Structure 1
Amino acid sequence: MALGGFCQDCFKGTLRGDAQPTGTVETIHGLPTYVARPDPSSQGEPLGLVVIVPDVFGWELLNTRALADSYARRGPFVVYLPDFMDGAAPPAYSLALLDKIEKPSPSWWAALIQKPWLALQLVAIFVPRLLRIRGSVTTPRVHAFFQALRRAAASSSSSSSPTTIAAAAAPPNGKVGVVGFCWGGRHAIDLCGAEAEDGRSLVDCGFTAHPSMVKIPDALERVRVPLSVANGDNDAFMGRDKMATLKRVLEGVVRDGSGGGDGGGRVHEVVVYEGAIHGFAVRGNPADPRQAELGLKAEDQAVSWFRRQFSST
């Protein structure tokens, strides 16, 4: 089942019923945003701001909020998880519907009646929502949010006494990183090649895991800041051939100095995890020791990456 350019695995995975988010919901630059902050007394001052552009299940998925909390604690970073989809994310329960469709049918009734009915429910859920979160609709919203972050940073740094609102919205140390999972991966890569109103890069660095709907090589050739990529060795969307092209293009971008910051010591990073399935960094099964380990490795990769980049940019 593939819809709107997504692969089937974009809609599969495990819900984190054990997750207990510790952040807050605030309005940041006009968007409802889940905000995770470190405790300065025990974790130190934040090194920068990390903004998560989520997978197709959006900003309310507990799995993604739990990741935001973990990033904030381990960084330490301030982490924003905005509603870039304007309330159009498919509901989390649709994951369970797809699981029911994929399970072997115990009877003719399940095969001929129940499963087609469940499939129709999924189509009714996804088609109108995927139209509302297509790139032409969401890209302006995503870019506007990051432009506002850059303006807030400039306002805070240029004023000896910035307003309380400007100071609260400004990225710590003026540094902004972006994370993109699946649906958000396309946006993260796009942002790594985008320019702010003042001519700076719109973000300082980026990380993406199992990105989908990425135009290769075009999107990668525009990357101008350090980018880290995590992917499975046989991903349903970003398969072996696409990953080989991705590596080759990013290596070329570094060599000609058009990406990776100044073209010097800061380069891109591509890590391929053997046995990882699409969605492993967010929706992997925590009860499966191997998938849980791979998800944690991707988290380690992201945290280490932002620590290094925020210390060098």
Structure 2
Amino acid sequence: MSTDCCKSGFNWDGKPTGKETTLAGNKAYVTGSNKDAAILFVHDVFGWTFNNLRLLADHYAKEANATVYLPDFFGGEVVAVEILDDPERREAFDFPSFASRNSKEKRYPELLACAKTLKSQYKKVGAIGFCYGGWAVFQLGADANLLSCISTAHPSLLEKKEIDGLRVPTQILAPENDFQLTPELKEYCNKAIPGNAVPYEYVFFPGLEHGFAGRGDPKDVKQKEGLERAKRAAVNWFKEWLH
């Protein structure tokens, strides 16, 4: 299975407005000042320092009126964003080894600790995960006493048992072309999640590909419209379930 879409895309211009802190022992970017509502943002392969995701976190904080945390779940390892512009470096990046170092079994305890810490500090907590972060928010979404809702854009590594386990309102931002969220998995989500008796929103993005919501090309009209629509959809989802 190709992983090219997980390590390709575009850097966005802009300067994040938040600050760096720690959450449950993990380094984290935090933005926003709401004392009642928080969002846990689980990053993609480019990690917690990725400028695009920090800019999105700022948007979520301001537009959904929440405090957003983007922690490091790769143990300090940072994938150089330069591979986005360098095909040779992108080809040389050993994705299987990277994925092994950051397996579900290794990283989920950290994810759970961060979510529990936020739940102890805020009245309502939501979570959003892009690509790698997709499976993570599905697992967290199995506990209705922990999260108020989840959202995910083009989730990776997702298993049917994680879909079956959902117990909180769930939103999926799904591009048409996705080697991870395959047509078969899309169909399964659209049948299984309503059967879990939780509110469900499936937002489809025709013509777009895996990674568009966090690494889409803002100079391409279709991609720009898609990533902006994805941002608005997530904001509206959190406004509905966190307030």
Give 2:101's match in structure 1, choosing from 128, 132, 138. Answer: 132
Among all aligned residue pairs of Structure 1 and Structure 2, give the percentage whose two residues are the same amino acid. Answer: 32
Give 2:92's match in structure 1, choosing from 121, 134, 159. Answer: 121
Distance 1:89 1:140 in 2: 20
8 Å CA contact 1:25, 1:35 repeated in 2: yes
Residue 177 (1) aligns with residue 109 (2): no
Q: How far is 1:213 from its partner?
A: 0.5
Give 1:64's match in structure 2, choosing from 49, 53, 78. Answer: 53
Give 2:64's match in structure 1, choosing from 75, 83, 91. Answer: 75
Q: How far is 1:120 from its partner?
A: 6.6
Deviations 1:162-193 (A, max 9, x none): xxxxxxxx22xx10000000000000111000
Deviations 1:38-70 (A, max 9, x none): 5xxxxxx56610110011111000000000011
Residue 268 (1) aligns with residue 200 (2): yes
Q: SS where residue 20 of structure 2 aligns?
A: strand
Q: How many residues align?
A: 243
The structure where strand makes up a greater share of residues is 2
Distance 2:49 2:167 in 1: 30
- For 1:32, the equivalent position in structure 2 comes to 27
Q: SS where residue 93 of structure 2 aligns?
A: helix
Distance 2:68 2:155 in 1: 20
Residue 208 (1) aligns with residue 140 (2): no
8 Å CA contact 1:178, 1:205 repeated in 2: yes
8 Å CA contact 1:51, 1:178 repeated in 2: yes
Deviations 1:255-274 (A, max 9, x none): xxxxx2xxxxxx11111111
Residue 244 (1) aligns with residue 187 (2): yes
Q: How far is 1:292 from its partner?
A: 0.7
Give 1:298's match in structure 2, choosing from 209, 230, 234. Answer: 230
Distance 1:23 1:280 in 2: 23
8 Å CA contact 1:88, 1:133 repeated in 2: no
Q: SS where residue 90 of structure 1 aligns?
A: coil
Q: Which amino acid aligns with 1:12?
A: S
TM-score by length of structure 1 reads 0.74
- For 2:139, the equivalent position in structure 1 comes to 190
Q: SS where residue 208 of structure 2 aligns?
A: coil
Q: How far is 1:85 from its partner?
A: 1.4
Distance 1:81 1:119 in 2: 24
Q: How far is 1:253 from its partner?
A: 1.3
Give 1:289's match in structure 2, choosing from 200, 221, 224. Answer: 221
Q: How far is 1:15 from its partner?
A: 1.1
Q: Which amino acid aligns with 1:236?
A: F
Larger radius of gyration: 1
Deviations 1:106-126 (A, max 9, x none): xxxxxxxxxxxx577323xx4
8 Å CA contact 2:6, 2:210 repeated in 1: yes
Distance 1:210 1:120, change over 3 A: closer
Distance 1:149 1:25 in 2: 16
- For 2:212, the equivalent position in structure 1 comes to 280
- For 2:18, the equivalent position in structure 1 comes to 23
Q: Which amino acid aligns with 1:201?
A: N
Distance 2:207 2:36 in 1: 33
Distance 2:240 2:73 in 1: 27
Distance 2:90 2:27 in 1: 31
Distance 2:68 2:90 in 1: 36
Give 2:39's match in structure 1, choosing from 23, 41, 50. Answer: 50
- RMSD of Structure 2 on Structure 1 (CA): 1.7
Q: SS where residue 178 of structure 1 aligns?
A: strand
Residue 149 (1) aligns with residue 143 (2): no
Q: Which amino acid aligns with 1:233?
A: E
Distance 2:239 2:104 in 1: 30
Q: How far is 1:10 from its partner?
A: 1.0
